Amino acid sequence: MDFVWAFVIGGLICVIGQMLLDLFKLTPAHVVVSFVVAGAFLDAFGLYDKLIAFAGAGATVPITSFGHSLLHGAMQEANEHGYIGLAMGVFKLTSAGITSALLFGFLVALIFKPKG
Amino acid sequence: MKTLNDPKNYKKNIKAFHPKTNYFMNCLKAFLVGGFICLVGEAIQKAYAAFTDYTEKSAGNPTVATLILISSLLTGFGVYDKIGQFAGAGSLIPVTGFANSITSAALEHKSEGIVLGIATNMFKLAGSVIVFGVVSATVFGLIRLTVNNLLG
């Protein structure tokens, strides 16, 4: 059942993105940026955690979870260190994602030849 | 031609010449591909939870890293861009699209050198994502922290 919900919720989030692209004629960059901000916004009210508990990877794989993890890490540190903790914790949970994206991106660019 | 170039109604006048968008098919493709990527993510997460020390909750990080590795490789082979043409937002919204934007920008500017080409252009598209993510997370965090403090 976990797999079904991951598929459905993940798919629906992408459909919202496709609608923003088609109906409102936003550029892909604008759509992705809005999704990140929306993820942080939903996490500010604790709503995104409920979605993750329900849909698993259907909620953690879309880019909305990037905004959610940024705020989540910031709040974790902020609870211990106050306002300065916000700056300390922002990249705490997303570190693995950003580091691997940069590392693999760099290595692939070194090894492969550009296509097209 | 005069009506076409009329600056007041330009957007309205050229509408008839735009290719028609098939909203339903685009959404269906985005749903299927996006759902499939999340399904793969769920399978990887379950595998990490079952075969390694990660719990179901903490397996999120290695799952994202694995998806990013797969997507970077697919971009290198030129496959991910073909998926992107087919799926639209279905391949853009998952975290694999983020990795794809970094890798493809790096590959595209490879000819300009390693420092000025690859490293400088990596953040071309991903930069806006990180900037807006950090700014919004900090602002929402400030608001939430202040509200928490005020309420005691």
Q: Which residues of chain B, if any, have pLDDT below 50?
A: none
A87 compared with B3, residue with greater pLDDT: A87
In 10 A of CB A110, how many CB atoms?
13
- pLDDT computed for residue B3 by the predictor: 62
Token pair, residue B138, equals 């900090």
Q: Distance, in angstroms, between B148 CA and closest chain A CA?
A: 10
Check CB contact under 8 Å for A32 and B93. Answer: yes
What percent of chain B is modeled with pLDDT above 70? Answer: 97
Confidence check on the interface: ipTM exceeds 0.85, yes or no = yes
Amino acid letter, B9 = N
Q: Average pLDDT of chain A?
A: 91
Residue A13 has pLDDT above 70, yes or no: yes
Check CB contact under 8 Å for A66 and B129. Answer: yes
Check CB contact under 8 Å for B132 and A43. Answer: no
- pLDDT computed for residue B4 by the predictor: 62
Q: What CA–CA distances, in Å, run from B126 to A73, A88, B60, B120?
A: 20, 21, 21, 12
Average confidence (pLDDT) over A65-87:
91
Residue A116: band (very low, low, confident or very high) from pLDDT cuts 50, 70, 90: low
Residue A42: band (very low, low, confident or very high) from pLDDT cuts 50, 70, 90: very high
Buried b (16+ CB within 10 A) or exposed e, A82-109: eeebbeebbbebbebbbebbbebbbbbb
Candidates B21, B23, B24, B42: best to mutate against A (most CBs of A within 10 A) is B42
In 10 A of CB A19, how many CB atoms?
17
* B52 phi/psi in degrees, rounded to 5: -125, -175
- pLDDT computed for residue B57 by the predictor: 78
